[in-house]
Structure 1
Amino acid sequence: MKTQVAIVGAGPSGLLLGQLLHLQGIDTVILEAKSPEYVLSRIRAGVLEQGAVDLLREAGAGARMDREGHVHEGFTIAFAGRRERIDLKSLTNGKTVMVYGQTEVTRDLMNARKESGALSIYEAHDVQLHDFYGDKPRVSFVKDGEAIELECDYIAGCDGFHGISRKSVPESAIRNFERVYPFGWLGVLSHTPPVTPELIYANHDRGFALCSMRSDNLSRYYVQVTHEDKVEDWSDERFWNELRKRLPEDVAASLVTGPSIEKSIAPLRSFVAEPMKFGRLFLVGDAAHIVPPTGAKGLNLAASDVYTLYHLLRKAYHDGRSDLLDRYSEICLRRIWKAERFSWWMTTLLHKLSDDPFGQRMQLADLDYFTGSLAGRTTIAENYVGLPYERIE
């Protein structure tokens, strides 16, 4: 088999990159180790920056998002019995975010690719990357018991933190930066109306809590838990009771509860791999970086990687500017580290880090300053809606 760009991974980043390149007449093949059903079963965040929204529209996969997604003009930070709203729209000259579940983004991109006729191979096993430091990279895999080799010009590793792409890079060629946090998020999805029209991030002496949503009748709630906590330790009743305790009283009083339809614990970490380009292999999204979900940056950082690689490849194929591909890492990493900083800062600001009274007072002082200052609120808003993409000239 031959293609121009081999894409490893059929999550949102791989599908988005494939769709954008296809619309530019650049041939792609997407390889995915799991089934489509498994990919769609992954429950992930759903706050999209304007840049990600625009890319989905450009890829021809934004129609349902525009119909069913919810534009949010702000969100609330609750602490010390207070509720402080960050007015994103007024603080960023009209920028907003879109609440639309990552599962739905993936579904829309899958449907767009199917309609385009471009090739996606699911349940591709034993995927291996070869010769990506040379001029003729290859990807080998096994499908239905048959060993297949895919020749290509470039490889995009969009297969996540645990995927084969980053693992294929020699250890001497890559440097990893990591911070593992001593807590996780217990998340519950329920067929209940959201407690408020916008997200609430809560700092509480019992631990962090987040009220989010997927639609008018589908809510997503989180509470901070320890690494020792197990999902089976948390009945629905225990979860709802704990969530109420961490929310402002008026919010807790209006909380509508119901049976959970999904419940899971996600560990929190910050991670960056440098560089992100190795010969003709490019790491994209979670394959290169992870952020704690506090800043709503995971999927959005992947989208900004896709934006950069898409425009660089378009210039390489259409304008003969393959030299620009050498800038991929530096362009991506400038934005990645700023998003890592914001996600780290939001995480340390809002979570219970210890029982140290001094540290807790420092959190409250920070929250009081940033929510009470125009400059502070603007800093939060600018980062939350997403910093600008770097244009490819």
Structure 2
Amino acid sequence: MRLRTQVGIIGAGPAGLVVANVLQQAGIGCVVVERHTRAYVEARARAGVIEHRTADFLARHGLADRLTMESARHGSCEFRYQGERFSVPYAALTGGREHLVYPQQFLVRDLIESFIAAGGTVFFSHPVVGVAGLDSDRAVLRCEPAGSEDGTGGGEPVDIDCEFVAGCDGFYGAARPSVPAGRMRAFARQHEFGWLAILAEAPPSTTEIIYALHEEGFAGHMLRTPTVSRYYLQVPVGDAVENWPDARIWATLRRRLAVADWELKTGRITETSILDMRSFVVEPMQYGRLFLVGDAAHIITPAGGKGMNLAIADAAELARALTTYYAGDGGHLLEGYSAARLPEVWRTQEFSRWLLHLTHSPSDGGTDAAFMHRLQLSRLAQLRDSPTFATTFADGYAGAAPVPVRV
């Protein structure tokens, strides 16, 4: 099958689907291709913290009805250390910039339903195996059918001729490798610890997200739904899931999160994984007819819940640039897409790294570990006691303020 459209979108995650919905609303032709099945992407558990700016953008485009009705609103987070606890009311400190807690897979489901209901086309189970023509008048996405997770197969091959390509297919996708060598520069850092990520059928033991600094390492209690909770534990680089039976997980969470008059609620652990804690950015985020969005252009640690929000901010800027291009602006915003996004990408990377090193125990064996730990305690005391310090943190944690949407 051969198709022709204006914008080919690789990836049916939040970023790709936001681009698709906004372009569709503007009357711009687009097709989405996704290597996994629809069932897979709608069930894939990921982040769940949606910044105020992100929610505002989605609402302005009619994409937040279920999000608004079903999400929980949060305006403060809690820090714990040495058996003590304190909260930072970041919404109050930023003029009302709350977070909405809504699992990413629910948002993906909503965006797919909206796009398809309005006549959009998504080719699921069709990995992109080649991207050609990025330097020519039109690009071509070559997509091969893949056997789906349920064994039903993926259909026939598809070639998509398009004027522009939105590469929203993540770090391991086909978009970025299609750029000729030497045209993008990568900046990367491998962090000195890992995270054990735990998903459990357990009601939350808190009304606020918890970040706990403990001599053994970081522990986090994140909120998802009234019956499902996400937890994180700092682990050594190279650790394995097999080293963490359920009993050890719950015992470690109790120990690292412990404060007086508080109890950890437990339940069936449904998923555990070791997260590769790395940071990565490519510059520029565009080449020829290709524009990289979200994890295809940058990887950020989960600290602060920034990944999905940063990806949707990329998607909003690219959709704006494409919309104005097809309205006849001559492509000035498209040419400036990377320059417009990279400053925020780097600011967000810096914040995420700062939060990591605020709450994680220094690497084992470091000669300055005790000194670095005292610095952490000083920062936490400032966060607790200094309105100026707390406001600076709140501004980074809550994310940028919403601005009038221009698409």
What TM-score range do you get, normalising by the shorter chain? Answer: over 0.9
Deviation at 1:390, TM superposition (A): 7.5
Q: Which residue of the partner structure matches residue 327 of structure 2? A: 318
Residues in 2 aligned to 1:23 and 1:317: alpha-carbon distance in whole angstroms: 13
Task: Please identify, of 47-56 and 138-147, the stretch whose mean Cα deviation from structure 2 is larger.
Answer: 138-147
Separation (CA, whole Å) in 2 of partners of 1:349 and 1:34 = 37
Paired positions, count: 392
Residue 346 in structure 1 maps to residue 359 in structure 2: no
Match of 1:176 in 2: 186
Residues 308-387 of structure 1: pairs in structure 2 closer than 5 A: 308-355=317-364, 356-387=369-400
Deviation at 1:134, TM superposition (A): 2.1
Q: Which has the higher helix share?
A: 1
SS of alignment partner, residue 17 of structure 1: helix
Q: Percent same amino acid among aligned pairs? A: 39
- Aligned partner of 1:238 among 239, 248, 265: 248
2:169 alignment counterpart? 159
Question: Which moves more between the two structures, 154-163 or 346-355?
Answer: 346-355
Q: Which moved more, 1:290-299 or 1:133-142?
A: 133-142
Q: Quote the offset at 1:79 in angstroms.
A: 1.8
- 2:194–2:276 CA contact under 8 A, matched in 1: yes
Matched with 2:150 is: none
Counterpart in the other structure of 1:290: 299
Cα distance, 1:196 vs. partner?
0.8
Show CA shifts across 1:343-387 (max 9, x none).
011111111122421111111112212332111111111111112
Describe the SS at the equivalent of 1:84: strand
8 Å contact from structure 2 (residues 74, 100) kept in 1: yes
Is 1:129 the counterpart of 2:131? The answer is yes
SS in 2 for 1:67: helix
Q: What TM-score, normalized by structure 1, do the two folds share?
A: 0.96
C-alpha distance after superposition, 1:243-277 (max 9, x if no partner): 011013236x4211111122222111111010001
Q: Which residue of 2 aligns with 1:76?
A: 78
Asked if the contact 1:335/1:387 (under 8 Å) is kept, the reply is no
RMSD over aligned Cα atoms = 1.7
Equivalent position SS for 2:62: coil
Distance 1:380 1:165 in 2: 35
Structure 1 Cα separation of the partners of residues 62 and 287 of structure 2: 30
Q: Using the alignment, how far apart are the partners of 2:403 and 2:280 within structure 1?
A: 22
The one-letter amino acid paired with 2:393 is I
Unaligned runs of 5+ in 2: 146-153
CA distance, structure 2, for counterparts of residue 56 and residue 390 of structure 1? 12
CA contact (8 A) 1:193 1:218 kept: yes
Structure 1 contact 20–58 (Cα < 8 Å) conserved: no
Q: Determine which of 43, 51, 54 is the counterpart of 2:56.
A: 54
Cα distance 1:352–1:246, how it changes in 2: closer, same or farther (>3 A)?
same
The 3-state SS of whatever aligns with 1:262 is: strand
Give the unaligned 5+ runs of structure 1. Answer: none
Report how far residue 71 of structure 1 moved. Answer: 0.7
Over residues 161-183 of structure 1, what are the superposed CA-to-partner deviations in whole Å (9 max), with x where a residue is unaligned? 11011111122111111111122
Cα gap change, 1:352 to 1:324, in 2 (>3 Å): same
Q: 56-65 or 371-380, which moves further after superposition?
A: 56-65
